């Protein structure tokens, strides 16, 4: 399955982004309100300047305490995150996420943010694919 199909099956709702310079406390609120685990950091909603995961906030809280909540996300986010294209295969995306130990991947086309896929989206797509393959093989064996 291609990333394009995953985005389509999710129903396109856009990507939640935050601007560099946002307070960490505001980012934490947005993550909670939207029930998501990661936000793309973008100056204009098009460029991918970074990614902020709930893990970044938890790690910084553990390392530096609650004062980080009144600081900006700029020193916490991951700059230049690994991105994928609509035409990438879901299994290749899953491999990159597993090897890189991250669960979010912005989807970019011509340098512009067009979506985001999570490890949950990719695993769901892969399970569907495997189930369809199993049904097709069973059909062939049973002679349907």
Q: Which residues contact ligand AMP (rule: CB under 6 A)?
A: 37-38, 51, 53, 55-56, 78, 81-82, 100, 102-105
User: Would you say 29 or 134 has its CB closer to ligand AMP?
Assistant: 29
Give the residue with the Cβ less far from ligand AMP, 5 or 78: 78
Comparison of 56 and 125: residue with beta carbon closer to ligand AMP: 56
Nearest approach, Cβ of residue 144 and ligand AMP (Å): 42
| Residue 8 Cβ vs ligand AMP, minimum distance, rounded to whole Å | 21
Looking at the Cβ atoms of 27 and 125, the one nearer to ligand AMP is 27
**What are the Cα distances from residue 142, in Å, to 131, 132, 139?**
16, 15, 5
């Amino acid at each position: 399955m291609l990333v394009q199909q995953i985005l389509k099956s999710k129903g396109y709702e856009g990507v939640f982004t935050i601007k560099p310079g946002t307070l960490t406390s505001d980012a934490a609120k947005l993550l909670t309100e939207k029930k998501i685990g990661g936000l793309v950091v973008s100056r204009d909603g098009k460029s991918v300047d970074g990614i902020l995961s709930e893990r970044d906030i938890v790690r910084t809280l553990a390392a530096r305490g609650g004062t980080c909540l009144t600081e900006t996300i700029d020193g916490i986010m991951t700059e230049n995150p690994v991105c994928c294209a609509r035409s990438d295969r879901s299994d290749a995306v899953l491999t990159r996420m597993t090897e890189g130990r991250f669960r979010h991947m912005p989807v970019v086309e011509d340098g512009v943010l067009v979506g985001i896929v999570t490890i949950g989206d990719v695993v769901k797509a892969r399970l569907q694919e495997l189930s369809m393959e199993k049904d097709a093989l069973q059909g062939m064996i049973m002679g349907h």
